[in-house]
Amino acid sequence: MNNLFNRLDLYELVNYTSWDILFTFVALSVVIYLYQLWQQDMFKHDKEK
């Protein structure tokens, strides 16, 4: 996907490699997933009260 964007001259990565993008998205996905689990647990406890 990165090569497509580069060919279309939408952007150019200067100090950020494709691996950096992958690790960033994986880290954000884990954080969002953990937040979702925490929220589901909080709402489950609220409904029990």
- For the chain, the structural domain boundaries read 16-49
Largest CA distance in the chain: 56
pTM confidence score: 0.63
Tokens 């060919």 map to which residue? 7
pLDDT grade, residue 44 (50/70/90)?
A: confident
Q: What is the mean pLDDT of residues 13-25?
A: 88
What three-state secondary structure class fits 10?
coil
Across all residues in the chain, what is the average pLDDT?
84
